[in-house]
Structures are given as C-alpha cells and as structure tokens.
C-alpha cells in the first residue's frame, strides 16, 4: 500500500477547500485534513495593540496535533482515528494497479512550520490577487466575525509575511515556485479555468 500526502496551502479564500473537495471526488481513497480544524479556542488567541485577534499565525493553531494526525494517518490510512472526510467512490478513469491512499492536507499556513515540511509528497500553493481575496473574504461569515479593518490590518499583512518567509526557506523552493506558474492560470474568478487547473493537478498526481 502506498500513501501520498499532498499539501494544498495558500492564501485565505484562495480556493483550497473547494479544490481539495473537488479532487477528493476524483481520486480514489482520498481524505482531506483541514488546518482550520486545529484552531485554538478564541480565548487562547492573542490580541494585538489594535485589538485584532491574531488568528493568522502559527500560535493560533494546535500545530503539534496537526502533525500527529498526519503521522497517524500515514501509519494507518484506513484505520486512522484522524477525523477526515473520505471519498466514497473510485473514478473509472484512474488505474489502480497498486492501492494508493491519498491525504490532502489543506490550510493557509502549511509551509512555515518545520515539522510539517518532511511529510509532503507533493505540495501546492494557491494564491489570488489582493482585490479578489478581499472581495471573497468579505462575503464569508467567520466565527468570530472579522471586525472592520481586519483584512488589511491582520489577514493580508500576515499572508505576505508568511509567503515571504516560505519563499526564503530553501526547503520550499522548487515545488512551490512551480505551482505559482500554474496558479497564474486561475488568478481570476473563472471556474472553467480552475477546472483546467484541476486537470493539470490530477495529471501531476497520477504521475506519482
């Protein structure tokens, strides 16, 4: 049995969850693990001098638990206690000569935490332009809700900071940069183009 751990990281509202779910429908034995499920409770999240809750940082997440969950899935993908939603059907167009189990770990802060860097078989980074990101974010209802100015005062600056740190980390160069090229294909809110991206993505994964 082969196991593959795929990282689907990137900006908030970049389409990570949407793409992960779409891929799960098309891939056999595919589970999703969402970083959003590892947020600490609100009372444990720090507040900065402007009164903004510091959600978009590693300290707001139980990262050790996330790593443990991925490792436990890797050891036992069928019996893992990891709470993942698994695909039920196997697409007819995928050959399954060897049993392959795939875990798609998706989240906004995957590649800035050293212990996670060793788990990826493939990793991708989704990004969209500032205006589109802000627009999409404003249509979402978060718990707790984004206060006025939160996107520009916390979310976007943290995204830029983490992206810069990710790109400066030599371990991340190569894989991530290739994906930036593909991401240019889906920088607009065009679902047809994003489907095209999914096909490229699938082709990538079938090469594993």
Minimum Å gap between C-beta 62 and ligand ADP is: 19
Residue 14 as a binder of ligand ADP (CB under 6 A): the answer is yes
90 binds, options ligand ADP, Mg ion, none, Cβ within 5 to 8 A by partner type: none
Positions 14 through 33 that interact with Mg ion (CB under 5 A): 17
Neighbours of 93 (CB within 10 A): 8
Minimum Å gap between C-beta 12 and Mg ion is: 8
Which of 36, 48, 59, 190 is labelled catalytic? 36
Residue 53 as a binder of ligand ADP (CB under 6 A): the answer is no
Active-site residue, 190 included: no
Minimum Å gap between C-beta 190 and ligand ADP is: 6
96 binds, options Mg ion, ligand ADP, none, Cβ within 5 to 8 A by partner type: none
Please report, in angstroms and rounded to a whole number, the separation of the first and last CA atoms in the chain: 13
Interface segment toward ligand ADP; rule CB under 6 A; list 13-21, 67-75, 96-104, 167-175 = 13-21
14 binds, options ligand ADP, Mg ion, none, Cβ within 5 to 8 A by partner type: ligand ADP
Give 152-158 contacts, CB < 8 A, sequence gap 24+.
153/50, 153/52, 154/48, 154/52, 154/53, 154/54, 154/55, 154/56, 155/12, 155/56, 156/130, 158/56, 158/57
In terms of phi and psi (left: phi > 0; alpha: psi -120 to 50; beta: otherwise), the region of 13 is left
The answer to whether residues 116 and 67 touch, using CB atoms and an 8 Å cutoff, is: yes
Interface segment toward ligand ADP; rule CB under 6 A; list 11-19, 63-71, 110-118, 162-170 = 11-19
- How far does CA 60 lie from the centroid of its chain? 16
Catalytic positions are 36
Query: What residues make contact with ligand ADP under the rule CB under 6 A?
Result: 12-18, 136, 186, 189, 191, 194
């Amino acid at each position: 049995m082969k196991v593959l751990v795929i990282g689907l990281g990137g900006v908030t509202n970049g389409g990570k969850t949407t793409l992960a779910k779409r891929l799960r429908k098309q891939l056999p034995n595919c589970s999703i693990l969402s970083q959003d499920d590892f947020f600490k409770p609100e009372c444990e999240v720090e507040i900065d001098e402007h009164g903004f809750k510091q959600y978009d940082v590693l300290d707001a997440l139980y990262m050790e638990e996330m790593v443990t969950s991925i490792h436990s899935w890797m050891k036992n993908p069928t019996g893992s206690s990891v709470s993942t939603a698994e695909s039920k059907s196997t697409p007819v167009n995928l050959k399954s000569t060897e049993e392959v189990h795939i875990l798609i770990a998706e989240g906004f802060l995957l590649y800035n935490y050293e212990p996670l860097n060793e788990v990826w078989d493939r990793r991708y980074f989704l990004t969209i332009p500032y205006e589109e990101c802000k627009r999409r974010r404003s249509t979402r209802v978060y718990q707790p809700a984004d206060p006025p100015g939160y996107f520009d005062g916390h979310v976007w600056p943290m995204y830029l900071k983490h992206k810069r740190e990710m790109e400066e980390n030599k371990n991340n160069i190569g894989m991530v940069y290739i994906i930036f090229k593909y991401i240019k294909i889906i920088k607009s809110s065009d679902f047809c183009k994003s489907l095209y991206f999914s096909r490229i993505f699938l082709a990538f994964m079938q090469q594993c």
